[in-house]
Structure 1
Amino acid sequence: MKKKILIFLSLLAFFSLTLAGCGNDQKSVAQEANTADTWSSIKKRGRVIIGLDDTFVPMGFREKNGKLVGYDIDLAKAVFKQYGIKADFQPIDWNMKETELRNRTIDLIWNGYTITPAREKQLLFSRPYMANRQVLVTKTNENITSFAGMKGKTLGTQTSSSGASLLDEHPKMLKDYIKGKNPVLYDSFNNALMDLNDNRIQGLLIDSVYAGYYISKEKDPSSYRVTRGGFDGEDFAAGMRKGDKTLKRKIDAGLQELTNTGELQRINKKWFGNSDNSLIRPEKK
């Protein structure tokens, strides 16, 4: 019996030490993310790894041939080209984006990434480069002209998106109206839009830049209605670890230079036509 007790106590001590070690490792990873400036490492290897959701049209998505394209793809490449650095893009689970960044499997999140107070507590953001807002997309034949028109109807949105966060933060604006007071969550907006077209959901809370691009490519754009509702606008920016202050300065300066040369306006026109959502303006001389 004594032998069994000793074995049990030994195992208990082993697992306690193991768990303590794991806790220390996690603290070490978080501390490094908040203090380490990795610009010199990025510069030395000549490439920066950018995490993205590769279904987010038109910011970053795959064409039918598998090629990765999009507004943010062009923008990030143009910024880092100024420093002789190649931008590599790594598709990630959007629900795990901050964890991927903290664990240094990626260097940046750059994919229509919205600045929020909660995210600012964890991350460092570049200067904002594009204005966006969450809008409700419905089919015109549903005759839904306001958020209140979704009463008793099914709403979809993307998991861990800024839209999902806004629903929870301001439930009286839309969440309290919808069926079950909870949305259907999707891994990608592509799947959500297919369900909207098939009437499995009657509304979709989605980024205005995505909605505008998607609807403009449809055979009958008039079959969709976009309702702005009451959610505040939001800004897109690149997100990085808090320790990467040099990386932030380089991105900010690169964005400004693209504006000064007219390259940013060219990229805007390529993806959004004459509409200009850019928040960056040429510096006053």
Structure 2
Amino acid sequence: MKKKLLIFMALFLLALGLSGCSDNQKSVAQEANTTDTWNHIKKRGRVIIGLDDTFVPMGFRQKNGKLVGYDIDLAKAVFKQYGIKADFQPIDWNMKETELRNQTIDLIWNGYTITPARKKQLAFSRPYMANQQVLVTKTNENITSFKDMQNKILGVQTSSSGASLLDEHPTKLKNYIKHKTPVLYDSFNNALMDLDDKRIQGLLIDSVYVGYYISKEKDPASYRVTRGGFTGEDFAVGMRKGDKTLKRKIDNGLQHLANTGELQKINKKWFGNSDNSLIQPEK
């Protein structure tokens, strides 16, 4: 009888702990959806931006360790208008929404694609750049269409928009690849190394990333980029739903940069004559 009582008490305490954990998660989510943190950010004098620091050319490390990139320049230029310093925090891309919800970071600003699933969890700034998921292969593999990936190994970044599209539209590419299952990577850097070493035969990747990457390679012609049936997508800044003032400040800041010509200078610096910007100067 005593043993049964101890077991009952243990189960009761476990259930109580799980209930408390669930209540805490609901509280954190509710706070993220209702709290406007602009005054706190302004008082602190800095905003913390989460990113994958291997995503060229949006945000990445140079050989000397310095963090550079299109989104780095853009975020700094936006918050400079408000006298706020932009601090950048490398994060596990697979945990980005959790980091944002738990207020470890204030923003996700790193070639972050707007998707229906993500819009359920957080808010987005206005879109600022067009992108598309493409298949990159080595030219000597003679892969010229998604169908040519039949029984071949495909790589994709974990929790990326490419991974989501692959699952949402399996008939476009996923059903062709070996075991109908891709190899998952934490970063595109590792995936591209495996592509070069023939461990995978294809990589589903952002056109913005691969276009810049190939342009910097010694032999750009050794890569082939194939555009399949995936529709275009837009990059925007991700934030908690409660941060309505922060959203307004970022949207206005981006438009101001377009009006003054600063946005065009940043675009030219990183993309040359290729213009994927979605924000035009006001007339």
- Does 2:142 correspond to 1:160? no
- Does 2:202 correspond to 1:203? yes
Q: What's the TM-score once normalised by structure 1's chain length?
A: 0.97
Amino acid at match of 1:66: G
Separation in 1, partners of 2:230, 2:9: 57
Correspondence for 1:41: 40
1:4-46 Cα offsets, whole Å, 9 max, x none, are 4444443333332222111111110010011000001000000
Superposed CA RMSD in Å reads 1.0
Correspondence for 1:225: 224
Amino acid at match of 1:71: Y
Correspondence for 1:252: 251
Correspondence for 2:11: 12
Separation in 2, partners of 1:233, 1:7: 59
Q: Secondary structure at the match of 2:110?
A: coil
Q: Percent identity at matched positions?
A: 84
1:115-169 Cα offsets, whole Å, 9 max, x none, are 0011011110000000000011011111111111111111111011111111100
Amino acid at match of 1:69: V
Separation in 2, partners of 1:39, 1:80: 12
Amino acid at match of 2:212: Y
Q: CA deviation at 1:230?
A: 1.1
- Does 2:114 correspond to 1:142? no
Q: Secondary structure at the match of 2:111?
A: coil
Correspondence for 1:215: 214
- Does 2:58 correspond to 1:59? yes
Amino acid at match of 1:260: N
Q: Secondary structure at the match of 2:63?
A: coil
Correspondence for 1:151: 150
Q: Secondary structure at the match of 2:134?
A: strand
1:226-262 Cα offsets, whole Å, 9 max, x none, are 1111100000000000100100000000000000010
Separation in 2, partners of 1:113, 1:187: 15
1:42-93 Cα offsets, whole Å, 9 max, x none, are 0000000000001101101101111111100000010001000000011110
* Deviating more after overlay: 6-15 vs 200-209: 6-15
Q: Secondary structure at the match of 1:110?
A: strand
Q: Secondary structure at the match of 2:224?
A: strand
Separation in 2, partners of 1:238, 1:79: 12
Runs of at least 5 residues in structure 1 that lack an aligned partner in the other structure: none
Summarize the Cα distance change of 1:7–1:129 in structure 2 as closer, same or farther, 3 Å threshold. same
- Does 2:128 correspond to 1:109? no
Amino acid at match of 1:29: V
Q: Secondary structure at the match of 1:276?
A: coil
Q: CA deviation at 1:283?
A: 1.3
Correspondence for 2:82: 83
Separation in 1, partners of 2:208, 2:102: 30
Separation in 2, partners of 1:61, 1:144: 29
Amino acid at match of 2:117: A
- Does 2:174 correspond to 1:175? yes
Q: What's the TM-score once normalised by structure 2's chain length?
A: 0.98
Summarize the Cα distance change of 1:201–1:5 in structure 2 as closer, same or farther, 3 Å threshold. closer
Runs of at least 5 residues in structure 2 that lack an aligned partner in the other structure: none
Separation in 1, partners of 2:268, 2:52: 23
